[in-house]
Amino acid sequence: MPDTPPSFVDPEKDEQVPRVQKMYRAAIAALAAIFTGVSARSINRGQAQRQAVLIAAELERATRTWISEAVVEWYKEGLYVSIATIVNSGAKMKYLGFSPTDRIMLQNLADSIWLDFGRGISGVRSSALSALTDAERVALQQQLARGIGTGQTLRELRAALEETFRQRGFTALIDRGGRRWSLDVYSDMLARTKRTQVANTAVQTRMAENNEDLTVVSSHNSKHELCRTWEGRVLSISGKTKGIPSVSFATASGLFHPNCQHRLYPYVEGVSGRPTYQFTEQAQASQYFKQGVRLKGSVEDWARGGVYDQAHRRAITAKDTTSAEIIRQLAPKYQQERLINREQKATG
């Protein structure tokens, strides 16, 4: 069984999932405030409905922006580790930055993710309006039972409404099994699931473009019974490698379920297990980065991703001044001054 490479990016340090969690928690808090307003009679039902619709619209706008940014960052995770493995294998790279296929996949992934989040937002919009109707009915029942007017009554009424909301929440969707997904749980599950899916898609796309067909499933002692059987297994991207199960077969067998954190890594015999750039020889650094210069858009794509900066840092740490100089010369001009300063500090 092959060694499983460590994650290129520590999932706990990913900024995009916490970002969407914060967005959706803020929406929940805003919707909850509407209930408080209804219970305190500071807003009427019509005002509450309009505010709920506005909250959903703002959440939709923010989600679209988040998806456009997150999908690129997640895709780079898989792309970076794939390129590292191919470079370490000594094979020639067809593309260094985003290929035409990558750009198509990015758009398709973004559209797919939006459909899932959009479905949840639509569910929340209708759920919120329905919940407001329930809140109004509860308010009337409380008022008829206890009388109207005292401060104590309003406090009790508010507590009753908030407890009703706490138990019910806002339903993002109801799955095929009849399970109700609340907004916060659904958005968290979706973000984590999509992060894995996007990175895995990048790995499969880049490996296939370079005529490499094998990937390996990450291992982290999963408690999920169906996933556990696939940990550390080598899979075929195309399904055409004899004796190797395909990615699609493993997926149909239960791998990559909702909330699944298993990652696909490139698998090349003798190379996998060390997916990091190693610039220790002048020829290697020169060949790799000069190839990138010839590819349209690659320099800028990878500059934004910090690849030149990271490679230069590694060369300086390894005291490989030759590679550091080559990398610096091939990096975009606006980065070169920073790299020169780093070299000067390293040499004292």
pTM comes to 0.69
Looking at mean pLDDT, say which of 34-38, 190-194, 228-232, 323-327 comes out highest: 190-194
Domain count, the chain: 3
If you ran DSSP here, which 8-state letter would residue 238 be given?
S
8 A C-beta contact, residue 24 and residue 16: no
For residue 316, give both structure tokens.
């300086």
Angle, vertex CA 317, rays to CA 313 and CA 321, nearest 5: 85
Residue 245 pLDDT: 93
Residue 237 pLDDT: 95
Please report whether residue 179 resides in a domain: yes
Angle, vertex CA 281, rays to CA 275 and CA 285, nearest 5: 70
DSSP-based three-state secondary structure for 180: strand
Looking at mean pLDDT, say which of 122-126, 141-145, 226-230, 315-319 comes out highest: 226-230
Please report whether residue 126 resides in a domain: yes
User: What share of the chain has pLDDT > 90, as a percent?
Assistant: 16
Please give the Cα distance from 242 to 256 (Å, whole number).
23
Residue 202 pLDDT: 93
> 138 lies in which domain range?
11-187
The answer to whether residues 226 and 84 belong to one domain is no
Query: Domain end: 122, 157, 187, which one?
Result: 187
The answer to whether residues 78 and 172 belong to one domain is yes
Asked if residue 296 has pLDDT above 70, the reply is no
> What are φ and ψ of residue 219, in 5° steps?
-125, 125
Confidence of residue 198 (pLDDT cuts 50, 70, 90): very high
Please give the Cα distance from 47 to 34 (Å, whole number).
9
The answer to whether residues 63 and 177 belong to one domain is yes
The answer to whether residues 28 and 149 belong to one domain is yes
Please give the Cα distance from 110 to 93 (Å, whole number).
26
The answer to whether residues 319 and 258 belong to one domain is no
Please report whether residue 329 resides in a domain: yes
Please report whether residue 94 resides in a domain: yes
The answer to whether residues 49 and 146 belong to one domain is yes
What's the average model confidence in pLDDT over 244-250? 94
Please report whether residue 69 resides in a domain: yes
Looking at mean pLDDT, say which of 70-84, 147-161, 252-266, 279-293 comes out highest: 252-266
Please report whether residue 109 resides in a domain: yes
Pairing of strands 214-217, 234-236: antiparallel
Asked if residue 1 has pLDDT above 50, the reply is no
The answer to whether residues 253 and 330 belong to one domain is no
Nearest partner of 302 among 110, 310, 55, judged by Cα = 310
8 A C-beta contact, residue 256 and residue 200: yes
Among the ranges given (43-57, 109-123, 221-235, 278-292), the one the predictor scored with the smallest mean pLDDT: 278-292
Query: Domain end: 187, 206, 226, which one?
Result: 187
Please report whether residue 87 resides in a domain: yes
Asked if residue 280 has pLDDT above 50, the reply is no
The answer to whether residues 152 and 171 belong to one domain is yes
What's the average model confidence in pLDDT over 204-226? 86
DSSP string over 206-237: HHHHTT--EEEE--S--S-HHHHTTTT-EEES
Asked if residue 302 has pLDDT above 70, the reply is no
Mean pLDDT of the chain: 75
The answer to whether residues 170 and 258 belong to one domain is no
Asked if residue 328 has pLDDT above 70, the reply is yes
Residue 66 pLDDT: 92
Among the ranges given (136-145, 282-291, 332-341), the one the predictor scored with the smallest mean pLDDT: 282-291
Please report whether residue 297 resides in a domain: yes
pLDDT digits (tens, 9 = 90+) for 106-163: 999 999 999 988 888 887 777 766 766 666 666 666 666 655 554 445 566 556 555 6
Residue 135 pLDDT: 60
Please give the Cα distance from 304 to 107 (Å, whole number).
19
Residue 306 pLDDT: 64
The answer to whether residues 213 and 257 belong to one domain is yes
More reliable by pLDDT, 134 or 227: 227
The answer to whether residues 17 and 96 belong to one domain is yes
Among the ranges given (55-69, 125-139, 273-287), the one the predictor scored with the smallest mean pLDDT: 273-287
Residue 184 pLDDT: 80
The answer to whether residues 89 and 173 belong to one domain is yes
Asked if residue 247 has pLDDT above 90, the reply is yes
Residue 141 pLDDT: 67
Query: Domain end: 165, 187, 209, which one?
Result: 187
